[in-house]
Structure 1
């Protein structure tokens, strides 16, 4: 199968990442089917995509005709078996090994094309474990997008010991030629490239705030103005989602047992309290309903 043959794309999970992946695929003129856990969640996923497309129109990044055509290419379902005819399925459910493994085991039985690629958008979990839940581990890859997916240009293509060279080539070609993304390649290790470098930096900023050494505002301002970073580490953690940061940190620590990867107590308490950052309206900073800083 070539990248040009991948016209029917499935996305499992319609949250922030899944909706973004569905949107970029639809904007690339692909037939997209998003699967969620129920009818209400599926409708919410479609609305999430519609809002993102409208935002692109308002910001002059997309014309209205293209936005409406993109939305028309997206269907939603609450039945995983509807993905049977997909040529590429991207899993984007909660960052939990058990949940993701169950999805891959089910997709292996549902997706009929033996040449179809099953991809995971995991940011840190072992791709090998997901591949081994199927009978087609050679067609399982990591396809890690970054948030917000319609804006950020990078995709990490992650291969396991079983991933075939053909599958690696096909998804790389798909991400670059069809979606217009830039690709970096990583082998299957916790955090891959970007998060293995980024997360210790974010955790260090959290520990600095936790200790009372500096406020969240000053930590962020220091890195923005002193190092020319477009966004400070704590505001970036809020954007990613503090639950996601904690989950990635736990995966990194489990694999490497290095103290710098361990999630700080403050981060764990904030997650337990539902203070997840931008998506919940409050993290290290406060946000309005549109996700803009207050």
Structure 2
């Protein structure tokens, strides 16, 4: 495996492209418009310049030379593995997987999703190669966090999973195995925790600051659940919660009304400058 494709150059897509290129892979990233491609290219360059300044890589230019950011999905035709990293929306992802199945020519190529909650089978069945589809779920920030969740569906063959594990380990990641259930391991545990904190804040039980300080100082968490929701993005938090609720019909997965209103208002956390906290 030498040629990697990534669809989407937002925070997650750019992070995946960066760690792949830093590990020596030839990387093509596809974005939906010239403006988004330019923004993604700038995000990659800024991150790599920081890594070079901190001594984490020898040359940002050498890594950037292994990455092309384009707007034509046909550029993925020769890839050995393609990772989808677009918006957490089932309809958008299934439409993309139909396109990838058409575009990627090698029958042995792996089509992977970075979804944090959508069952992989729903993506695999729209392709002609469900045995070569699985989830490879990275965590934000991708260059820093080592965990990767490997999520084969009922149709994924063992060789595909083994190749995906080798790919993850080649980038210094530590994969864990997950069953194909909405939320996988981490989000199935994390999202109810965050939703509980939102309900506590919504009810007036405690301030956002005190909820977060309680978990940081009392449970040794690196940051509180509301600050973490802002980092993840409240729209993504809501989308994952909805996927979990659809799968399990458990009330603890239902998004609280406050979360829905904040998303409707465009208060999405760090990426918009305001969520449970205000960011400059």
Q: TM-score, normalised by structure 1?
A: 0.94
Counterpart pick for 1:43 among 23, 38, 53: 38
Report the CA distance between 1:39 and its aligned residue.
Answer: 1.4
Counterpart pick for 2:115 among 99, 116, 122: 122
Counterpart pick for 1:268 among 256, 260, 263: 260
1:26 maps to which residue?
21
Does 2:44 match 1:52? Answer: no
CA distance in 2, matches of 1:246, 1:281: 18
Structure 1 moving runs of 4+ over 4 Å: none
Report the CA distance between 1:58 and its aligned residue.
Answer: 3.5
Ranges in structure 1 where 5+ consecutive residues have no aligned partner: 1-5, 289-294
Report the CA distance between 1:60 and its aligned residue.
Answer: 3.8
2:6 maps to which residue?
11
CA distance in 2, matches of 1:251, 1:121: 15
* 1:42-93 Cα shifts (integer Å, max 9, x gaps): 1111111111112223444334x2x221111110111101100000000011
Does 2:251 match 1:259? Answer: yes
Counterpart pick for 1:233 among 225, 228, 233: 225
CA distance in 1, matches of 2:234, 2:49: 27
Task: Give the match's secondary structure for 2:135.
Answer: strand
Task: Give the match's secondary structure for 1:279.
Answer: helix
Task: Give the match's secondary structure for 1:158.
Answer: strand
Q: TM-score, normalised by structure 2?
A: 0.98
Counterpart pick for 2:139 among 146, 162, 171: 146
CA distance in 2, matches of 1:180, 1:40: 31
CA distance in 1, matches of 2:34, 2:80: 24
CA distance in 2, matches of 1:242, 1:191: 16
Task: Give the match's secondary structure for 1:85.
Answer: coil
Aligned residues: 280
CA distance in 1, matches of 2:109, 2:65: 24
Does 2:171 match 1:168? Answer: no
2:216 maps to which residue?
224
2:130 maps to which residue?
137
Does 2:90 match 1:90? Answer: no
Does 2:175 match 1:183? Answer: yes
Report which stretch shifted further, 52-61 or 244-253. Answer: 52-61
Compute the RMSD of aligned alpha carbons.
0.9
Label 1:188 to 1:68 Cα distance change in 2 as closer, same or farther (>3 A): same
Report the CA distance between 1:285 and its aligned residue.
Answer: 1.0
Task: Give the match's secondary structure for 2:271.
Answer: coil
